[in-house]
Amino acid sequence: EVTYTGRKPPQSWKGSPAEDRLDLDTLDQAATHFEGSARQAATLYPKNANVAAAVALAGAGFEATKVRLIADPGIAANIHEVKASGAFGSFTFHIEGRALPDNPRSSALAAMSVVAAIERQQSAIVILGIAFGYPVYPHCRPCADPPETASAQASDRCRPAG
């Protein structure tokens, strides 16, 4: 069983179906405005439920992942909690991300994740210490030989790592 709970300040839910279920301007305590599957959440809240969709894709799937979305005037961060249990045991993790000033639906963590993903795509592909068929050593990428036995050809191929 996998459950994702998304808790955000009321202004983060503006422009979403939460406005039809709650008075976001006068809310004085936390209120759940959605409970259902990750598929339903992603369909109804396309600008707010991206973490629910990611959890579903990474785990039990869109139908099996349960989602609860909460507007909470008592918090300043976007809070994501995932609980999972099964034959393996159970786990819970909790993430609090500061909302972006220009887009309170998202957090700085999301923006930093995009930057990190782009940086990873720009770097050389390294799998199990081998890049493009050559061994990889900490000092260079890619090299055929370690530095103490490097041939002239291998030295020509070496580029500084990082």
Please confirm, yes or no, whether 94 is among the known catalytic residues. no
**Contact 80/97 with Cβ under 8 angstroms?**
yes
State the burial class of residue 145 (Cβ atoms within 10 Å of its Cβ: 0-12, 13-18, 19+).
middle
Measured distance CA(159)–CA(161) in Å, rounded = 6
Q: In what order do the strands lie in the sheet with 103-107?
A: 31-37, 65-71, 2-8, 77-86, 89-100, 103-107
Measured distance CA(101)–CA(89) in Å, rounded = 39
Structure tokens at 131: 């890049």
Catalytic (active-site) positions = 80
